[in-house]
Amino acid sequence: MVRRSVLLPLLSLASVACTHRLPPVVVTHECPALAASDSSPTDTLVYDTLSVTQRPVRAFSQPVRYPEAARQAGVNGHVVIDVVIDVAGHPEMGTARVVSANYRDFVDPALAFLRGSRFCPGTLDGRAVRVRIRIPIDFTIERVGAARSLVGYLTSA
């Protein structure tokens, strides 16, 4: 029996465990301040995670998809992406940069995960600001007894 599970902790602040019968959206963190941003969308300054009061936190996302070819080949992988999260909590995909990937078939699923994610924006003194974050994503096939399970890990750097 093949069981697929995905574990998605991000920035050590929110996590969710999912099975192969995932809902289309995984909610991981409530973000009441998401719509109440008083920051100007024209603000071009980008902060790093050490310069803000609150780091961006993943509010919801699509589940990470393990590539079928990699699963069949038994390949594990790791992708690290740097991206700016805007004041509305959206990843700015034009700023997304793959820092490393040990297997190129994992890059597209990692970027698709990021594209389908929404974050509580980072804040500086209560004001939402643009923040560059690094998102490592591990794709791992684990053997559990005679059964195989697929695990995608999302962690913080």
Predicted confidence band at 61 (pLDDT cuts at 50, 70, 90)? confident
If one counts every other C-beta atom within 10 angstroms of the C-beta of residue 12, the result is 10
The answer to whether the CB of 42 falls within 8 A of the CB of 129 is no
What's residue 32's pLDDT?
A: 56
The CATH number that domain 2-154 falls under is 3.30.2420.10
pLDDT in tens, 17-51: 222 233 344 455 566 555 454 545 556 799 999 99
Q: What is the mean pLDDT of residues 124-148?
A: 80
> Around 65, how many Cα atoms within 13 Å sit in the side-chain half-sphere?
16
Q: What is the mean pLDDT of the chain?
A: 74
Annotated domain spans of the chain: 2-154
Q: What is the mean pLDDT of residues 101-119?
A: 93
Please indicate, yes or no, whether the overall pTM of this predicted structure exceeds 0.85: no
